[in-house]
Every structure is written in C-alpha cells, then in structure tokens.
Structure 1
Amino acid sequence: MKTIAFYNLKGGVGKTSAAVNCAWLAAASGLRTLFWDLDPQGAGGWYLAPRESGNGALKKILRRKIPVGHLVVSTPYEKLDLIPSEFAYRDLDVAVKRHAEGDRTLATLISPFGEDYSLVVLDCPPSLSELAQQVFAATDAVLVPLIPSALSLRSYEQVQTFMKDRRLGHKQLYPFFSQVDRRRKLHRGLREDPPASLKRLLATEIPYAAIVERMGEQMQPLPAFAPNDPVTRQYRALWCEIAERVGIS
C-alpha cells in the first residue's frame, strides 16, 4: 500500500480538486483506494459522498478504544471509499498532539488499511502544525499544487525548510503547477523557467478553468461528469505521472 497526501500551506490553490480527481482516477484504474479528508472544511468528502459525514469516533480511535476502520464509509464509486471530515476536525491538530506517540501516530493509524487498500489519499488542511508533521512522516509522497506566483513559491520553500529542520524527508515533496493561466506573463515565465527550489517538479500542470468549479455544483469528481473535457485529461495525466514517480501499481 502507498500513502500520498495533497498539501499546501496556502489555501485556494486547487489542492482538494486535485486530491479528489486523482483518488477517483486511481480507483477507476482498478486500485482499491481510500480517501481520508483531514481538512475540517470537508470539501473532498462532499465531492465524493455528499450525504456522508463523520461519526464522531476520531477521538476514541486516537485513544485506541475502537479500530480506525469504524471511520470508513462507502462512496458511489467502485473501489473508492472515504473517511469524511467532520466539525470536530477543527481541533484535530490539538487532539493528535495530545494523543501522539511520536511522529508515527498517523502512520500507525493508516497501517491497518494495507489489508484492504492499495492506496490511501490524504487531503490536508493548509497549516504547518503537529498534524502536518504527522502527515509528512506517514506518506510516501506529498503532492504540492502551486499557483505560478512569488507568494506560492515562498510558501513552498517554507514547507521545505520545515521538513528539513525536522528531518522529515523533504525529498518526498512533489510540486506541480495548478490554476495556470497561460495568458499571464508571470505564469508563463515561471512555467518556462522554474526556480531551482522546485526539485521533482511534475511535468503535468492543471489549468485555471471554470469547469473545475462545477465539481461543487455536480457534487462529483470532474472525470465522473466530464470524462472527455481537456481539464479531465490533464488530471488523468497528473495521476499517471504521480503513479509512475511514486511507484503506485
């Protein structure tokens, strides 16, 4: 089993859209996939199973009173299950810190899923925190969507520094450009000449497109309602590149 996370210190960069679409595409390719929505906004889970919500059991699971599998619900999509977010996730960082047994607490929770799933996808909240540290320690790869801008690059470098300082294996970071507007000179310049800090930059980029916002209207992943759209093809290319780079099969 592989575990990947979609993460950015900044919000509004297309993180959840990428996480949901890649999880759907992974399941569609035949991989048993679990999507864990760690973001208290709960958008990822809402796209996949809008009628499902968390059952309030997370703190009991952190205390080892019930198995982590009690959090899992099904989605309408074959081979794709979900751990939905819930309002209590706003305090998840505090809860994890209180019950943490070192940096591997989240990894320990995820480990039993290896019996049933080939892939776990984490959609993470935008923060540098105890939870982020747990995520970095638990994953095989951290996918970081970046809008081609100076502030977005600065936030990425802050994450690199955070991981290096805590010896969390910053080489597992895989940035990719998101919400790219090719009409903008700054976007074109950073795409054509990315800075040296963007090591392991993925070749696939996700364009800025109104159809991505329709995921909220449709309450579905993009490939589910627009399988032939050019943006869907870009997400499919992104997933294929991630799978190849990380060794997911």
Structure 2
Amino acid sequence: MTTIALYNLKGGVGKTACCVNFAYLSALDGYKTLLWDLDPQGSTTFYYQVKPKLKGGIKNFITQASDLEEAVMNTDYDHLDIIPADQSAKSLDVMIEEMKHSRKKLKNVIHTFKKDYDFVFMDCPPGLSVLAENIVMAADIILMPVIPTTLSARTYEMVKSFFKEKELDPAKLTCFFTMVDLRKNLHNEIMETLYKDKHFFQSYIPYLSDVEKMGIYQAPVEVFARSSYAAQCYRDLWAEIKEGVL
C-alpha cells in the first residue's frame, strides 16, 4: 500500500482538485483506492457527492480507537472508496497534541488499511502543525502543488524548513506546478528556477476552466471532459507520479 498526501502550507493552490483527480485515475487503472478527506472544508467529499454516515467521525477514530473501516463509504466509481470529511476534524490538532506518541497517531490509524488498498490518498488541510507532522509521518509521499508565483515559491521554502526543523524525511517531499499560465513571464521564470530542484515533477497542471467546472459537475475532470486538455494534463502527471512510486 502506498499513501500519498496532497498537502500545502497555504490553501487555494489546487490541492483538492488534484487529489480528487489522482484518486480517480488510480481507481481507473484498477488499483484499489481509498480517498480520505481530512480537510474540514470537505471539498473532496462534495466532489464525490457523499455524506458522512457516522457522527463524530475523525474524532472517534483518533481518540477512541474506533474502527476506521466503519467510516469508509463507496463512491459511484469502481475500486474507489472514500472517508468523507466531518466537522470534528477542526479540532484534530488539539486532540492529537494531547496524546502520547502523537507524531505517529495517524500512521497507526492508516496502517489498518494495509491489506485492503493499493493506494490511499489524503486531502490534507493547510498549515504547519502537529497534524502536518502526523501527515508526513503517515504518508509515503507528500505531494505538494505549487503555483509558480513568488509567494507560493516562498511557501515551498517554508515547508522545506519545516521538514528540517522537525527532522522529517525530506525524500518524501515531491512537488508539481499547478494553476500555471505560461503567458506570464513570472510563471516561466519561477518554473525554470524550481525545476532545478530535484523535488519537482516535469508535468504540470495549467489554469483551465475545465478544472473549475468540477464544482458544477461534482466529478473528476476525466468523468465529464475526458477529451479535454485538462484531463490529459492530469493523466500525464499521474503517469509520472506512478513511475516514481511503482
């Protein structure tokens, strides 16, 4: 089982859209895939049109060692299950901080799915916190979308510093560019600079209207616009990610 966490320090970088599409493409490839929506905003849950079937959700799993499998729900797509978001995730940082061995709490929870899934994707909330440490400890890969702008590049450097400060494995950090507009000189310049960093994939996701339409269709791009350029970009990037994982 390979666990991939879509994470960034800041929001609004296309993280959830990428997580939704990569999980779907994984399932489309025939891999048994679980998508866990850890973000209290619940955008991934919205895209897959599901609602939590248990109250207290993540709080119960973390604090009471409840059976996480009870929260897993089917989606409308073969090979793809989801653990939907719920409001209890808002206080997840506090709950984990109060526990012993808190850095590995999420890892121990995810380990229960080892025999059931080939890939686990986590849509993670933004921020540098004890939850972020848990995510890094639990995931095999931290997949970070980066907009090629000055502030987003600065955020990338802050995340690298966070890894160093907390003595987290820097080899887990992999990145790709998202919301790219090659008509902008700044985007081209930043991409050229950061591509020299070994952490970045070559494929990227442009700023495209079909990605924004995910909210209208409540579905991955591949479902409603399979022949589009946006769908092709997600397929290309997923192929590159798989090559690095398998």
> Quick one: which amino acid aligns to residue 161 of structure 1?
S
What is the CA distance between 1:16 and its match in structure 2? 0.5
3-state SS of 1:179 partner: strand
Encode CA deviations 1:86-135: one digit per residue, 9 max, x unaligned. Answer: 11111111122223523111110001111110110001001100110000
Provide the rounded CA distance (Å) in 2 between the counterparts of 1:64 and 1:110. 15
Moved more, 99-108 or 76-85: 99-108
Provide the rounded CA distance (Å) in 2 between the counterparts of 1:74 and 1:97. 31
> Quick one: which amino acid aligns to residue 76 of structure 2?
P
Hey, what does 1:26 align to over in structure 2?
26
Map 1:6-155; keep pairs closer than 5 Å. 6-48=6-48, 50-53=49-52, 55=54, 56-155=56-155
Encode CA deviations 1:62-93: one digit per residue, 9 max, x unaligned. Answer: 23442111111111010000000011111111
Residues 59 and 88 in structure 2, CA contact (< 8 A), matched pair in contact too: no
Question: What number of residue pairs does the alignment pair up?
Answer: 245
Hey, what does 1:205 align to over in structure 2?
204
Taking a change above 3 Å as real, the CA distance of residues 230 and 195 of structure 1, as seen in their structure-2 partners, is closer
What is the CA distance between 1:173 and its match in structure 2? 0.7
Work out the percentage of aligned pairs sharing the same amino acid.
40
Q: Does the alignment pair 1:3 with 2:16?
A: no
Encode CA deviations 1:25-59: one digit per residue, 9 max, x unaligned. Answer: 000000000000010100011112x2322522322
Encode CA deviations 1:128-159: one digit per residue, 9 max, x unaligned. Answer: 00110000011111111111011111111111
What is the CA distance between 1:189 and its match in structure 2? 1.5
Q: Does the alignment pair 1:242 with 2:214?
A: no
Provide the rounded CA distance (Å) in 2 between the counterparts of 1:149 and 1:237. 22
Hey, what does 1:231 align to over in structure 2?
230
> Quick one: which amino acid aligns to residue 211 of structure 2?
V
Hey, what does 1:185 align to over in structure 2?
185
Residues 62 and 99 in structure 1, CA contact (< 8 A), matched pair in contact too: no
> Quick one: which amino acid aligns to residue 130 of structure 1?
V
> What is the TM-score of this pair, normalised by structure 1?
0.94
Residues 57 and 70 in structure 1, CA contact (< 8 A), matched pair in contact too: no
What is the CA distance between 1:203 and its match in structure 2? 0.5
What is the CA distance between 1:192 and its match in structure 2? 2.8
3-state SS of 2:103 partner: coil
> What is the TM-score of this pair, normalised by structure 2?
0.95
Provide the rounded CA distance (Å) in 2 between the counterparts of 1:69 and 1:166. 31
- Residue segments in structure 1 that go unaligned for 5+ positions in a row: none
Provide the rounded CA distance (Å) in 2 between the counterparts of 1:120 and 1:3. 5
Hey, what does 1:160 align to over in structure 2?
160
- Residue segments in structure 2 that go unaligned for 5+ positions in a row: none
Residues 103 and 133 in structure 1, CA contact (< 8 A), matched pair in contact too: yes
Moved more, 210-219 or 187-196: 187-196
> Quick one: which amino acid aligns to residue 189 of structure 1?
E
Residues 52 and 71 in structure 2, CA contact (< 8 A), matched pair in contact too: no
Provide the rounded CA distance (Å) in 2 between the counterparts of 1:70 and 1:157. 38
Provide the rounded CA distance (Å) in 2 between the counterparts of 1:74 and 1:189. 43
Residues 178 and 206 in structure 1, CA contact (< 8 A), matched pair in contact too: yes
Residues 9 and 127 in structure 1, CA contact (< 8 A), matched pair in contact too: yes
